[in-house]
Structure formats: structure tokens, C-alpha cells
Structure 1
Amino acid sequence: MPELPEVETVRRGLNRVTLHRSIVRGDVLLARTLAYPDRPEAFWAGLVNTHLTDWQRRGKYLLGQLAQNDGKAAGYLGVHLRMTGQLLWVDPMEPVPTHCRVRFFLADHHELRYIDQRTFGRLWWVPPDQEPASIITGLQALGPEPFDETFSPTYLKQRLAHSRRPIKNALLDQSLVAGIGNIYADEALFLSGLRPTVLSCQTGPRRLAQLHQAILDVLTTSIESGGTTFSDYRDIYGVNGNYGGVAWVYDREGQPCRRCQTPIQRIKLAGRSAHYCPQCQR
């Protein structure tokens, strides 16, 4: 699933190419892609003849702010890519791939396509008289963004003090911190020297401060690399992210640690894989 760096890369790309172009029409090729409204005619009634003024990101969600031609607010276009979703900026004359689910036709002969092989992703139109979280209910449970001031070592200490969950599982909890998934939890734990199995409540202030900094460092590095592509993720031009080539531990089971040459191990925690170096992480 695309995580914060991948979604942030898509957001930046969308802000470069889609803003202030009218949505002239659209086509829904798989109706269940629409979460709200769930009828294509109602979805397009809210979007056609509006234009995007800004794309924002909240956790792994994308929110495109809409306006009418007179500048009046027209709500939001919400997108969650889930496991295999892609937003691609293409020429409308390009062949439509099998897994294209929604097509947005914009002014001046441009098209934004939503591609999704596994069909878990969802799109929303949020009317202008509603807050995004009232329609996209997953937004309600999100914790702070990693780069927000509210996300700090002190915050982590307070939230984890009584938790007996493994620290890896805690980092995947979107109510603790928004946007981190399997890839960057593994990478941040490596950089902070923490094993994924360490209990959250047994992680002291010094190590939590190291973890906090590691989270910021690995997310910054991945954003600069355009995210990670191991399978389906692409930016809006269809280009792979480059972080995977320099990952410390994620998806490197059996390969030598980049620091100490010890083979990277993989275990299961609550049904999710966790990669770590048994020598560098304690």
C-alpha cells in the first residue's frame, strides 16, 4: 500500500499539473470505486464544471479542493489509493488499460486516470457544505502527521507508556501517527536500533527520541526519492519511486545488513511482516 512518501509524491505531482483546469466530464468504469456519492451521475454532478485549486494530504488520503468558475467553494475530491491505486496524468488518446476505474477529462485536452488492479481504492466527492471527515470517515481516527509539532518524543512517551504492543505494531496504528505503514516502520526501527518486537511500554525516553528522529529522517529521504516502488506504486507520470533500492531492511530478507553484513530476518507480527537486523537492532 502506498504510504506517506508515495502519497505525498502524488500530491506534489497533482499540484503541478491539475490546478485551475476545469473538469469537463468524466467516466466511471467500475461503480464500486465510488464511495460517495455511490451513483456516478451524482458524483459527476458535483465535479463537472469545477476546477481543482489545491491538493492536500492527510495520512494516506488525498484531498483535492474544488472551486466553481466564479471562485465559490465546490467541496473536495477525496482519494485513497489503498493497495494498488494509481493516479496517472495522460493524453486522452492513450489506450485505456484494463484496470482503469475512473477517468477525469480536464480542459485543454488533458486526462487524469484512476487505475486500480485490486479495486480496494475509493473516491469521494465531499459537498461544499460538509467537512471532509464527515464524508470520509477514515479521517476521523487519524493521529498527528509525522512532521507536525504535535508529533514529538513527549507525545510518543505519553501514548506508549502503558501499551504492551510490539513497537512495530504501534507504528502501524494510524491513530498514533498518520501515514506510516509497513515499509517505513521497518526502516525507522532500523535507524533507531529498535527491534520490532520490543514492547512499546518498555521503550525509554532516549530510544523514543531516537525513533522520532528516525521516522522524520526516513520519510524525508523517501520523499526526496519519489517514494518506494516494490509492485504497483507509480507517480502521476507512471514513474517508479527510487527509495526501494536503498532500503535498509524492508523486503531484504536473507540479504546482508548494509551496516554489519548480518543477514536480514523477517518475522510475522499480528499478520504483518517485520524486517530487521538481529545485530544492529536490540
Structure 2
Amino acid sequence: MPELPEVETIRKGLINLVGGAVIIDVAVFWDRMITPPFSTERFKTVLRGEQIHTIERRGKYLIFLLDHWAMISHQRMEGKYEVSEAGEPIKKHTHVIFYLADGRQLRYLDVRKFGKFTLLPIEKRDEYEPFKKMGPEPTADFFKLSKFKKDLSKSHRAIKAVILDQNIVAGVGNIYADESLFQAKIHPLQAADTIGPAAAKRLHEAVMDVISRSVEAGGSTIRTYKNTLGEAGKFQVSLAVYGQIGQPCPNCGHPIEKIRVAQRGTHYCPHCQQLPKTRSKAPDITDIAYKGAK
């Protein structure tokens, strides 16, 4: 799934490519991508003649701001956008096409068909249900240490599960959770309410730093992610632990290991990220070592 850095990179690319463009027609080939109460036909009808003024982002969601509507797009696991010239062959897994007045087409492709489109009146976009409980963006302006410490103190879940929780902080997924915990030297299974003030501060800073550096690098390409120009992200070359099972830790040289936390494959250095010698391991999480390859 594209995480915050990848979605932010896509947002910037789409603004450059289709900002100001007018939608003259829409084709939908997979009706389930259009969320109620809009039918596919209603979705297509209201978008005709609408101009794309700008594109915002909230967590992992893109928000296209049109004349009268906010079109909210969640790419889920494999969704991606491409801008094509008229007449270019339609690729397999293309499920929505926005025909633009200048002859180009904004195409949405999704191998797994999990992506969703939602329309709201533009002035009500903040009332979108997933946004109501969503945590702050991981930037200094919104992500406050005092609130983060309070959130940790209230949860006995594994710390990785907590920072993956979109109600705690928006946009952090599996890759950047692993990298942030490594940078902060915190074991992913440590119970959140046992993390002291100094470690909480390290993690707070690490989340913001890792996300910021990945945005600058255009995100991470692990499997299929590419930006709107078809280019791969570059942050994967900077990953210290994610996907590095068996490789030497960049800090101490100990082989990186993989366990399962919060139902996610989790990479960490057992030497640099040790559990304190107390009852600090979250009791509701099963850690299962992976014996296979990454």
C-alpha cells in the first residue's frame, strides 16, 4: 500500500500534470470503486465540466478539489494514476478514466481493484468519516510530542501497532514504522505504555524525520509503486531494516531479523532494539520468527 511519502509524491506530480484541467467525461469499468450514495452514473454526471483546481492529501488519501466537489481517492494496495495522450492503448487493470478537455486522459489503474472514489460537496470534505478520527500529519506543525506521549501511556499494545494506528498519527505504514522504530532504538514489540519520555521523544522525532526524508526521495519502491511519471521512488536505497532480513545492521553489524507484529512482517535489529529486562512486551501480540527468505 502506498504510504504517506508515496501518496504525497503522487499528489505533487498530479498537480503539475492535471492541475487546472477540466473533466469532460468519465468512464468507470469497475462500479465497486465508486462508494455510495453515488451510483456510477451519478458519479460520471456530476464530474462532467468540473475543473481540477488543486489536490490535497490527508494521510494516505488524495483529495481532488473541483468546482463544486471534493473527490476523495484511496489507492489501497496497488492503485496508481497515469496521464495518457488520447489514442494510447488502455492498459490492463485500468478501471477509471477521466477525459480532459485538452485531449489527455487521467487513468486510474488497480491490479487488486481495492481503490475507492468518494464525492462530497467541497465545503464538507472534512466531514468524510475516515477523516474524523484520523490522527495528525507527522509534521512539527501538527504532530505534538505531548499528545503522542499521552497516547502511548494509554495503550498496552505493541508500539509498532500503535504507530500504525491512523488515529494516532496519519500516513505511517509498515515500511516507515519499521524504519522509525529502528532509528529510535525501540523494539517493535515493546508495550507502548512502558516507553519512557526519552524514548518517546526519540520515536516522535524519528517518525517525522523518516517520513520527511522519504518524501524528499519520492517515496520507496518495494514492489509496484511508481509516481505519475512512471518513475520509481528512491528512498528504498536508504532503508536500514525494512526488507533487509539477514543483512548486517548498519549500526552494529548484527543480522537484521524478521518477526510478525500486529499481523505485519516486521524488520528490526535484535542488538540495537532490545526489549527492556522488565515485563514490557505487549501480551496481545504474537511474534513469530520468519525462517524463509525476505
Output the TM-score relative to the length of structure 1. Answer: 0.93
Instruction: Tell me which amino acid in the other structure corresponds to 1:3.
Output: E
Q: Give me the whole-angstrom Cα distance separating, in 2, the residues matched to 1:81 and 1:206.
A: 36
Gaps (5+ residues) in structure 2?
A: 275-294
Instruction: Tell me which amino acid in the other structure corresponds to 2:21.
Output: R
Residue 15 (structure 1) aligns with: 15
How big is the shift at 1:92? Answer: 2.6
How big is the shift at 1:154? Answer: 1.2
Query: Per-residue displacement from partner, 1:28-60 (whole Å, max 9, x unpaired)?
Result: 011111114542210012111011111000000
Alignment of 1:46-195 (within 5 A): 46-67=46-67, 74-128=68-122, 131-134=124-127, 136-195=128-187
Query: Per-residue displacement from partner, 1:142-168 (whole Å, max 9, x unpaired)?
Result: 011111534122111111113111110
SS at match of 1:52: coil
Contact 2:176/2:211, CA 8 A, preserved across alignment: yes
Residue 30 (structure 1) aligns with: 30
Contact 1:75/1:126, CA 8 A, preserved across alignment: yes
Q: Give me the whole-angstrom Cα distance separating, in 2, the residues matched to 1:52 and 1:150.
A: 27
Gaps (5+ residues) in structure 1?
A: 68-73
Residue 255 (structure 2) aligns with: 263
Alignment of 1:213-228 (within 5 A): 213-228=205-220
SS at match of 2:35: strand
| Structure with the higher fraction of residues in strand conformation | 1
The list of structure 1 runs, each at least 4 consecutive aligned residues, that deviate by more than 3 angstroms after superposition, is: none
SS at match of 2:66: strand
Q: Give me the whole-angstrom Cα distance separating, in 1, the residues matched to 2:36 and 2:220.
A: 29
Contact 1:104/1:111, CA 8 A, preserved across alignment: yes
> How many pairs were matched up?
274
Contact 1:222/1:243, CA 8 A, preserved across alignment: yes
Contact 1:256/1:263, CA 8 A, preserved across alignment: yes
Contact 1:36/1:125, CA 8 A, preserved across alignment: no
How big is the shift at 1:132? Answer: 2.1
How big is the shift at 1:93? Answer: 2.0
